[in-house]
Amino acid sequence: MIGQKLLFSGLRTSASRWINRLNEGINGRGQASFSSCSPKVCIVGSGPAGFYTAHHVIKARQDAEVDIYERLPVPFGLVRFGVAPDHPEVKNVINTFTQTAKHSRCNFYGNINVGKDVSVEELQQAYHAVVLSYGAEDNRKMGIPGEDLAGVYSAKDFVGWYNGLPSCQKLNPDLSCDTAVILGQGNVALDVARILLSPINILKKTDITQPALEALEKSQVRRVLIVGRRGPIQIACTIKELREMAKLPGTRPEMLAADFDGITEALKNVPRPRKRLTELLLKTALEVPNEEEQERRSKASRVWAFQFFRSPVEVLASPDKTRTAGIRLAVNRLEGSGERAQAVLTGELEDVPCGLIISSIGYKSTLIDPSVPFDSHKAIVPNINGRVQQVAGLYCSGWLKTGPTGVIATTMNNSFDTAKSLLDDMASGTVDLSASKAGFHSITGLLEKRGVKPVLFSDWEKIDKKILTVQEMLQVVHK
């Protein structure tokens, strides 16, 4: 999610607006005189980008047939596995995606690993157009000594663990330490901090997995530091996430007053949304609370804090070198101002003892098939308005198209723009609809030969109860 901006951690914003826009339908852009051959479109990836793209194509072309391929047996990507379990309203968009999946001209095929079980070239032969929407599934590495020690996790994996992502169920994080350090200050970082510090009676009311709930009930973590390389004006979270953190029962903030020197004066020149966010941060960190808030904080048994102007340089090992015992941070200063301010090392170092480190510095996309152009530096498929460069009939949407940035509304607009490019190409003849394409019917034989059993959407509905391993899911479907 995987961000950060995944990510997706800012998914809370305007949930009803996204659903309303979808349900209102499309305005007809891309509508064309239809050929006698039904356009067959394949979408790789069943997260928000994939479903938004499918929805737009189905609405805009009344003869289009869309097949959605997914590596896991389950759909919905980061909406299912990347959103915090105490944010159920964000997951309401799944209801709209379900409507798309059950549309008469849409099919979901899970448990198909494109690039391994079937190639992109084979999909291109079977479909008039292929849209890659498989997101950013890999972790960005910190690139510092010690980051592979036990006790160091990516936020993507940690979030996947408490959300039931099959590949993360063996994570078993050690929560026996007093202090946890989260690297990154986006919404995902705050989601993780909130889950680590939330009273267990609150977590019990969410759809968090039972193993995670049991582990958090025994957790000894009482202090969470949320570390960023720049300052309060550059913090990457949203105001809703910060407000939730400030009001989290049983916790109190403890921040360094020196980190906020000059911030009030600097706020005169920043945009209003950024100003409101920073003012709330200032109030939370420095303002003397009212009597009720003072009493709440005095009873708090857990502490959280933003630490600014710090960059990780080394994970410190325990005496036996088997696990983390702390993190060494470089102290920064800023050059420039506002969003463009750059963190510059001062030469000063600072060691923070901790037993748990969670890196929340972002996700990145990976190349799944050598036939697809890929910019390894930007970790995206090179494209113009979603059209993959130099490959006719191949498109991309979502984070694979732009990098891991924005919230779900951003992904929706991004995907609609890709769908419009595809529809325009169908209308202009750039995508040749004169040839008949067999779609999934021609892929079925390949999958059978390779021992791959697809999971249909109706199959998925049988396993939609937080079964945690792929093997368990497939046993339910194929028994």
Binding residues for NADP(+): 185-188, 229-230, 241, 406
* Residues in binding site: 49, 70, 78, 114, 185-188, 229-230, 241, 399, 406-408
Distance (Å, rounded) from C-alpha 224 to C-alpha 189? 11
Q: Which residues pair with 251 in a beta bridge?
A: 302
Alpha carbons 80 and 70: distance in angstroms, whole number: 14
Structure tokens given for 446: 């390949």
Known binding positions for FAD? 49, 70, 78, 114, 399, 406-408
The encoded tokens of residue 476 equal 């339910």
Query: How far from 12 is each of 239, 394, 408, CA to CA, in Å?
Result: 11, 31, 8
Distance from C-alpha of 112 to C-alpha of 126, rounded to nearest angstrom: 15
Sheet holding 324-335, edge to edge: 310-317, 324-335, 342-353
Phi-psi region of 7 (alpha: psi -120 to 50; beta: other; left: phi over 0): left
CA 98 – CA 177 distance, rounded (Å) = 41
Contacts of 261 (CB under 8 A, 6+ apart): none
Q: 3-class DSSP state for residue 344?
A: strand
Position of tokens 């000063």? 348
Q: d(Cα 239, Cα 249) in Å, to the nearest integer?
A: 18
Q: What are phi and psi of 265, to 5 degrees?
A: -65, -40
Q: Give me the sign of the Cα torsion angle 306, 404, 154, 249.
A: positive
Which residue, chain included where needed, has tokens 């007053």? Answer: 257
